[in-house]
């Protein structure tokens, strides 16, 4: 009899779109999910909105039109990666419902998984890892989401993760469980060759 030696997770390419206020835990959660996918040798790539603002989208401001173009570009890059067979994780505030729906339409049915990373504004302000809320309150940053620009919470996200109620590992487990449940991930067991 042979003994299972390793577990791999064949994956169905899709985009996991993490949306929420600054400080809600989008990047933290997406990175932890990425590490879980890496641990199972699952091909994936993480697109972080803050990093893309420094490169691909550095010419854009924060007006409604600029935010829409920012999300459109991220969506196009994500679509290319999904076409290449990757589970693509996107961590971006993407504050407006309409812009998220436009991105969803860019993907085939079932290929867009919206994950609402939710925390109350007061919690996000208390965390404020980059000091952005403090600067926005001081008037140093204009059109800051949650302060003087609205955030429209998803109406029917595939997943709703409340980071003020869940430990990071619990959030990851909930997302990975969903991916299994919806057959984006399928567990298989690899056996060594039989020796005689």
Give the residue ranges of DSSP H helices in 42-141. Answer: 49-53, 64-83, 97-105, 121-127, 132-137
163 within some domain = yes
* CATH assignment at residue 54: 3.40.50.300
Give CA 147 to chain center in angstroms: 22
- With respect to residue 174, please indicate whether it lies within any of the assigned structural domains: yes
Tell me whether residue 63 is in a domain: yes
Cα(87)–Cα(111) distance, integer angstroms: 9
In a domain, 94, yes or no: yes
Determine whether the annotation assigns residue 11 to a binding site.
Answer: no
> Has 22 been labeled as part of a binding site?
yes
- Model pTM score: 0.86
Residue 117 falls inside a structural domain: yes
Tell me the residue range of the domain where 101 lies.
6-190
108 or 52: which carries more pLDDT confidence?
108
Residue 1 lies in a domain: no
Distance from C-alpha of 82 to C-alpha of 88, rounded to nearest angstrom: 6
Residues with active-site annotation: 94
How many folded domains does the chain comprise?
Answer: 1
- pLDDT tens, position by position, 115-155: 999 999 999 989 987 888 888 888 888 888 888 888 999 99
- Distance of alpha carbon 91 from alpha carbon 191, whole angstroms: 36
131 is in an annotated binding site: no
Give per-residue pLDDT as tens, 90-126: 999 999 999 999 999 999 999 999 999 999 999 998 9
pLDDT tens across 163-182, in order? Answer: 999 999 999 999 999 999 99
Domain contains 195:
no
């Amino acid at each position: 009899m042979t003994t299972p030696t390793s577990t791999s997770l064949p994956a169905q390419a899709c985009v996991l779109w993490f949306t929420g206020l600054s400080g809600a835990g989008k990047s933290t959660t997406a990175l932890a999910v990425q590490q879980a996918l890496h641990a199972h040798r699952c091909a994936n790539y993480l697109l972080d909105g803050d990093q893309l603002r420094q490169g691909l989208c550095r010419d854009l401001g924060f007006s409604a039109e600029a935010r829409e173009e920012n999300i459109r570009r991220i969506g196009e890059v994500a679509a290319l990666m999904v076409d290449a067979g990757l589970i693509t994780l996107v961590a971006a505030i993407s504050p407006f419902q309409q812009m998220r729906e436009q991105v969803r339409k860019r993907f085939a049915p079932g290929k867009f998984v919206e994950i609402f990373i939710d925390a109350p504004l007061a919690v996000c302000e208390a965390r404020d890892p980059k000091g952005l809320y403090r600067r926005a309150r001081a008037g140093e940053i204009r059109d800051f989401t949650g302060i003087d620009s609205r955030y429209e919470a998803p109406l029917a996200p595939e997943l709703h993760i409340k980071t003020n109620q869940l430990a990071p590992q619990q959030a990851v487990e909930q997302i990975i469980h969903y991916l299994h449940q919806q057959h984006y991930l399928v567990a298989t067991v690899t056996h060594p060759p039989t020796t005689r």
